[in-house]
Amino acid sequence: MLGYVVRTAGDGLEALNVAASFCPDLIFLDLGLPELDGFEVCRRLRARPNKTRLIIYALTGFGDAEYRNRAMRAGFDAHFVKPLDPLQLPGLLSAIL
């Protein structure tokens, strides 16, 4: 995808395991995941020791102010409502360069 290596996960626990083995620079994370929700996944990722800056974007169907505020408190760098405009993607990915 645009020359980047991409991994996916189907639930919050798998997302933590993939992140641990893959060491991503950027994560698009849904808030409504099974097992662990995106808020908890983000908090746990932020609690891990990390030598590089990890960017975590919330990508979710929950777009009201309460969810935006909860996402920021959990440690997300930004909050986007689905569907993401594909034209936004290159700019968002440039944050890791």
- Name residues whose C-beta falls within 8 Å of residue 67's C-beta, 6 or more positions apart in sequence: 31, 60, 79
Residue 57 has pLDDT above 60, yes or no: yes
The residue extents of the domains of the chain are 12-96
pTM of the model: 0.91
Q: Are 1 and 28 in contact (CB under 8 A)?
A: no
Least Cα distance to 31 among 7, 63, 54 occurs for: 63
pLDDT number for residue 3: 78
Q: Average per-residue pLDDT in the chain?
A: 92
For the domain spanning 12-96, the CATH number is: 3.40.50.2300
Peptide bond into 34 cis (omega under 30): no
Q: How does residue 97 score in pLDDT terms, banded at 50, 70 and 90?
A: low
Least Cα distance to 26 among 90, 70, 71, 72 occurs for: 90
Kindly state the percentage of the chain with pLDDT values over 70.
96
